[in-house]
Chain A
Amino acid sequence: MASTIRVRAISNGDTTEVQALVQHPMDTGLVKDAQGQTIPPHFIQQLTFEHNGKNVFLANWGPAVSKDPYVKFAFKGANKGDEIKISWVDNKGANDATTAKIQ
């Protein structure tokens, strides 16, 4: 099955710019379906970006984040060719992870 995480990391001088698109319903638990039943909450609780064993970006999310969230950030101390690892865990205990090389 294809990964739920799309990521691109680009080296720009001493800064690395990272973009990621994560496929996830991010249901708030406040919405009702067509039959009037509440759709239970289903959202990513933690999203981490790791480089050299250290977390360079850590997000603690809740239901306020929209469906298929997009993240963009920059960090220092990485070089072209390095690997970053991205992983998430949601409130149902599901998770996914992927790695990407910095271009």
Chain B
Amino acid sequence: MRALLLIAGLLFAGSAPALAASEADFKAAFATAEAAEKEAGQLRNQWTTTEAALAAAKKAAAAGDFDQAVSSAKEAEALAKASIFQATSEKERWKDMEIR
């Protein structure tokens, strides 16, 4: 019986929620996203949806929902990176559309 309880206890300890994000996680994710958005800004190609995701991340963090905050921050980072890719590749690709 005792062995059973011991094993049960170990199992429960092992299954404690491993997905809860902390404030530190949010801060790191947000900093990365912000840096990417800043780079997009230097390329003069920021997306409104990136800005919206950053705002959503901040709002969720302020409400203490760090899971959502990290998720929004990661989405913002992905969007910012995509906008950087767009600006960089368009530097040459715009010529494909040019009327000659």
Q: Indicate whether A and B are direct neighbours in the complex (CB within 8 Å).
A: no
Binding site for B on A (CB under 8 A): none
